[in-house]
Structure 1
Amino acid sequence: MSALSDPFLAPAPRPQPRPLSTPAFIWTAMRNPIEIWGERAYRERVLRNDWLRVPTVIVNDPATIRHCLVDNAANYAMQPLRQRVLRPMLRDGLLTAEGELWRRTRRAMAPVFTPRNVGGLAAIMATRSQAFAEALEQSEADAPRDVANEMTLLTYDILQATLFTDAIAGEPAEFARAMDDFLHRMGRIDPLDLLDAPAFLPRVGRLLGHRSTTYFRRLITETAERRRALIAADPTSAPRDLLTLLLQTEGLSASEVEDNIITFIGAGHETTARALGWTLYLLASAPIERDKVERELDEQLPGLPDPREWADALPRTRAALEEAMRLYPPAPSLNRMAIEADTVAGMEVPAGASLLVMPWLVHRHEALWERPGHFLPDRFAPENRGRIDRYQYIPFGVGPRVCIGASFALQEGVIALACLMRTLRFEYVGARPPHPVQKITVQPRGGLPMRVTRRRKSL
């Protein structure tokens, strides 16, 4: 563990001092779900609340997480509230599909995310990240940049270059604006969803998000049509990327293919963008930790021409990224519903009960972490990693539905961070600390205004 006596305390909502009334709960869940939690949620390993007459069990204990999401995963389906929020956006994409459709889709995507294939994409990730860093360096130095938005642009560029071989239609800046509106409007919990109101009743946020939804659906349709034409003209000329694999998968309709493309363009790249933005903010706020990463990059990168080696050869850089994902997990909630009654850690889980495994809570739990709210990358140093339970740190989920692109995202994150920080320094210039808000991912309210300048190397 780090010897720092005064490590950086990462900004986060304060736990609720007392249980919320029903109106306050609905308002808080709609505005920012990670603000609903009280002190018990950060201290107890398993607890139960009956919210809006639905029995709800919150699980923070690693062994119990394994039981529910791995050993007895077949008993826990996707939670209906989660589906009501996500399905209007993602429809039958991998994140929301269930049953045979989910199994068929995941099998189709598996070849893209094998270790060998992911490693083969490292050079493209590095090339795009380096070009992005050079463009930032040439921009006006005194003008603050919203690094949250900049990371959306970078990860979009990497995603479309690797998984879609530069085939995505659309202009990056327009894409970033639409993505921000898409997640802001569509990723919010509507009071009607909390109350399990009929689907035909209109949700205001989704009505306001219609424009961005239409934009993405048009973008995806154009992208798929262009690739279909290429495959029809000469199947051997089509790249063997995610887009081609989806289009050639038997049993997937045209709409299901498009649902999966929008899932990866939306949820897939957004999680990595948020992880990178938070990492740069935390390192800017913790100069000692930033210096360690910069020194490592100056010493190691000149001898590492192959970016496939970076994730293992840059342990401090990787540790900073992993600690940022602990404090601000890109996917902050894993929501399930018990199909049949179960018993977890001595507590009864009735059939139909909601089961919440919240990386936001697990990663900040007082019984699992020393100084859980502080930024301490040394937790993930090679000599300390063995102390972390497999089910104590779950930024990509666990079990059968673990993120299929976890190794892709980790490799991308380390490479992008290395390319950015090898020549640039990021200084946070916001008037106040960023406030994390849950909208599918954990986003900084108001963005991450930062000054980007060229740095002097430590050698």
Structure 2
Amino acid sequence: MDTAPTPFRPPAPTPRTRPPSMLEMIRIIYRNPLELWGEPSYNEPWIVVNGVGGPLVIANDPGLIRHVLVDNAKNYKLATVRQKVLRPILRDGLLTAEGQVWKRSRKAMAPVFTPRHIFGFAQPMLRRTLAFAERYEQEDGTVDVSQDMTMLTFDIMAETLFSDEIAGEPGSFGNHIEHLFETMGRVDPLDILRAPDWLPRFTHIRGRRVMAYFRKIVTDTVAMRIERMQKNPNDVPEDFLTLLLRAEGKDGLTRQEVEDNIITFIGAGHETTARALGWTIYCLAEAPWERAPIEAEIDAVLESEPDPTKWLERMPLTRAAFEETMRLYPPAPSINREPIEPETYKTLKIPARAQVLVMPWVVHRHRKLWDDPNAFLPSRFHPDNREKIDRFQYLPFGAGPRICIGAAFAMQEAVIALAVLLSRFRFDSVAETKPWPVQKLTTQPQGGLPMRVTQR
């Protein structure tokens, strides 16, 4: 008798059975916030906690999430703690800007991410992935898939959004980005306590050198493009960088805002996709019964359909594996808001200045929303099952006005990358493959993803 294999349950912190002390909480938030959440977080529609920094509301109910992010979004600003973590890195980039600055930036970037432009990026995405794959043909042994996916998505971004005109050496980029998020991309204990800004954050002090590295990349990149625009204005690519620079002016972006948005996409825009790709390859390696039909799907589509713009639609199993991985390891594991005015949702009273946390990590594993939530089951996202998933119980790209502007870009990029890599190679875990999810700016695998690569 045929029996279905036991689903793979990738590593994740065990929910706490008792609340932490204040000292424990600060230590956990600094080390790895994913280890903070207890049993109620995975069972209740919302939780209210009176913390040292003020009231805290953990929102798990899809209706409440919709209320905060969409229906009454005007009453919510980006949370103070989140801004203290991200603004030192991204300043007035799209992820951290608010008000008119955010509106100007979003308007300036919108033309780059229309469906027409996204489809136009498909061939460069394919070209860069094919070139990247050549290195694996020379490999003999173990590679760090996590770092490699960071490099691949950097290569893709460099060509599609910046026409290959990013200053600096991409070879050192992976190490620098990891160090940046290790130092500056995490909550400092003083931020939890809402200490005044003039008190130095020692976590940030350690990251100043790498932050200067990224700022220099941005300054040099902008200078290169301005020089090209001045020398031959009729021979300038209509890419992300050019559109941002053309949006400069009295009613548009300032030069600082242009640079902030460039560093947002260089430092964070590709990092989320890179992490999700690495985790997907890892999950498939640990669940070969899920990998086999995906390899068959990819082989069949590549044999009959050369146009990569069609792959996302024609590879539903591949897409489902990527989406299921983003459920288990959401690239952006927290969405933080703060109400401007107090309000009530059903029986929940939300005071002004409360921290409202929508945690995709928790919502995506909530026991009232998902069957067997800790298991890797791509079938949840197969076409026949997708309608069962509430729009606000699955939030890999956020929701509402601030939904990720690059979501379609990322989905197309991911499926193209997986199609090329999985059609040529098989990735398998080795004894050293023992990743542990850690929340920094993204959900990162502590210890990397060392894996054996062999040609299929």
Q: What one-letter code is carried by the residue in structure 1 that aligns with 2:210?
A: S
Distance 2:346 2:224 in 1: 53
Partner of 1:9: 9
Query: What is the distance in 2 between the residues matched to 1:103 and 1:351?
Result: 24
Partners of 1:46 and 1:345 within 8 A in 2: no
Partner of 1:45: 45
Per the alignment, in what secondary structure is the counterpart of residue 395 of structure 1? coil
Contact 1:46/1:58, CA 8 A, preserved across alignment: yes
Offset at 1:205?
1.6
1:341 maps to 342
2:253 maps to 1:248? no
When structure 1 is superposed on structure 2, of 295-304 and 371-380 the one drifting more is 295-304
Aligned to 1:431, the other structure's residue is in SS state coil
Give 1:192's aligned residue. 190
Superposed structure 1 runs of 4+ greater than 3 Å apart = none
Quick one: distance in 2 between partners of 1:445 and 1:34? 12
Give aligned-pair identity as a percent. 55
Residues 80 and 300 of structure 1: is their aligned pair in 2 closer, same or farther, counting only changes over 3 Å? Answer: same
Check conservation: 2:433, 2:450, Cα contact below 8 A: no
Per-residue deviation, 1:430: 4.2
1:159 aligns with 2:153: no
Aligned position for 2:277: 276
- TM-score w.r.t. length of structure 1: 0.97
Shift of 1:4: 3.7
SS in 1 for 2:234: helix
Residue 123 of structure 1 is matched in structure 2 by: 123
Counterpart for residue 405 of structure 1: 406
Give the equivalent residue in structure 1 for 2:287: 286
Structure 1: distance between partners of 2:131 and 2:164: 15
Look up the equivalent residue of 2:90 and give its one-letter code: L
Summarize deviations over 1:28-86 as a string: whole Å, max 9, x none. Answer: 00111111110100011111111214111111111111111001000110000000010
- Which residue of structure 2 lines up, in the alignment, with residue 367 of structure 1? 368
| Structure 2 letter corresponding to 1:35 | E
Q: Does 1:54 align with 2:54?
A: yes
Give the secondary-structure state (helix, strand or coil) at the position aligned to 1:20.
Answer: coil
What is the distance in 2 between the residues matched to 1:430 and 1:78?
42
1-side partners of 2:228 and 2:222: how far apart? 10
TM value normalised by structure 2? 0.97
Deviations 1:386-409 (A, max 9, x none): 111111111000000000000000
Q: 1:175 aligns with which of 155, 158, 173?
A: 173
Q: CA deviation at 1:431?
A: 3.4
How many angstroms does 1:16 deviate by? 1.2
Measure the CA separation in 2 of the matches of 1:163 and 1:286.
34
More deviation in 190-199 or 404-413? 190-199
Higher mean alpha-carbon deviation, 425-434 vs 397-406, is at: 425-434
- CA distance change for structure 1 residues 53 and 196 in 2, over 3 Å: closer, same or farther? closer
- Secondary structure at the counterpart of residue 49 of structure 1: strand
Aligned partners of 2:329 and 2:443 also within 8 Å: yes
Contact 1:123 1:307 in 2 (8 A): yes
Distance in 2, matches of 1:6 and 1:345, equals 40
Offset, 1:5: 4.7
Deviation at 1:345, TM superposition (A): 3.6
Q: Aligned equivalents of 1:450 and 1:431: distance in 2?
A: 8
Moved more, 146-155 or 173-182: 173-182
Q: Secondary structure at the match of 2:270?
A: helix
User: Partners of 1:158 and 1:433 in 2: how far apart?
Assistant: 28
* Shift of residue 248, structure 1, vs aligned partner: 1.0
The one-letter code matched in structure 2 to 1:428 is S
- 1:448 pairs with 2:431: no
Tell me if structure 1 keeps the 8 A contact 2:181–2:441: yes
Structure 1 stretches of 5 or more lacking a match? none
Q: 5+ unaligned residues in a row in structure 2: which ranges?
A: none
Instruction: Give the structure 1 partner of residue 67 of structure 2.
Output: 67
- Residue pair 2:318, 2:415 contacting (<8 A) in 1 also: yes
Sort the Cα spacing of 1:434 and 1:125 in 2 relative to 1 into closer, same or farther, 3 A: same
Q: How many residues align?
A: 451
**CA deviation after TM superposition for structure 1 residue 352, in Å:** 1.2
Please tell me the residue identity of whatever aligns with 1:450.
M
Q: Determine the structure 2 residue equivalent to 1:392.
A: 393
Letter in 1 for 2:14: R
SS of the aligned residue for 2:199 comes to coil
Provide the secondary structure at the position in 2 that maps to 1:425: strand
Is the contact made by 2:182 and 2:440 (CA closer than 8 Å) also made in structure 1?
A: yes
Other-structure match for 2:237: 239
